[in-house]
Amino acid sequence: MTLPAETAEIASAVKGFMPGDEGEALYAVATSARPGTWLEIGTYCGKSTVLLAAAAREVGAQVVTVDHHHGSEENQPGWEWHDTSMVDPRTGRLDTLPTFRQTYDDHLADVVTAVVATTAQVASWWQTGVELLFLDGNHTEETAQHDYAAFAPHVVPGGLLLVHDVFPDPADGGQAPWHVVERALTDGFEQVSVTGSLRTLRRPRPKPVE
């Protein structure tokens, strides 16, 4: 399904790291998902959340987005993707929550539940089956592997797993998301599509008993 112009305009105005073609692919894939609970790991300011929310409205799903809002490693001072405008002057720490809150109030509140916590905290109590899981959180090897191990088992048969910033060639980017994809394929997920650094996989449905 083609990304509506209004949604594209809203998403383009939100700070984030989702290229246009990958955003369009994220929306299109999400509109093919079944209604139910969708889970996004890594919110930042809500660019991809806007796209997921628009797709969720189309199919009747609800999105849960999880982030502690203090940024990933690459968002910290001294790193390439550090944004000084996001630093809380009171604490001196990166804080994307106030910026995300505006996006949430303006565009997301009807279909999105925002959880402000680490993925380790949420993993300790999460028990809901997931029709769509979008992994786009911290890209260190330890955290990326944790997030996959914690939440991928909740993807129901026929459900979708999307992983962002996947670079098989180390010259193009960090390897942790690629290692997650490799693990998912080993675990039986089947690759559905590739758009730039966005990979879509599906958990197979059980074969009918003859």
What positions carry a catalytic annotation? 139
Please give the C-alpha separations between residue 24 and each of 27, 50, 144, 155, 200, in angstroms, as whole numbers: 5, 11, 24, 22, 13
Spatial contact of 77 and 26, defined as CB atoms under 8 Å apart: no
| Torsion angle, alpha carbons of 7, 12, 14, 20, to 10 | 100
DSSP-derived letter for residue 96 is -
Please give the C-alpha separations between residue 178 and each of 55, 85, 132, 141, 173, in angstroms, as whole numbers: 25, 30, 19, 10, 10
In this structure, the strands spanning 130-135 and 190-195 are unpaired
Q: Where are the alpha helices (DSSP H) in 104-188?
A: 119-123, 141-151, 176-186
Radius of gyration of the chain (CA): 16
- What's the gap between Cα 140 and its chain centre? 15
Partners of 113 in the β-ladder:
64
Please count the other Cβ atoms lying within 10 Å of the Cβ belonging to residue 149.
13
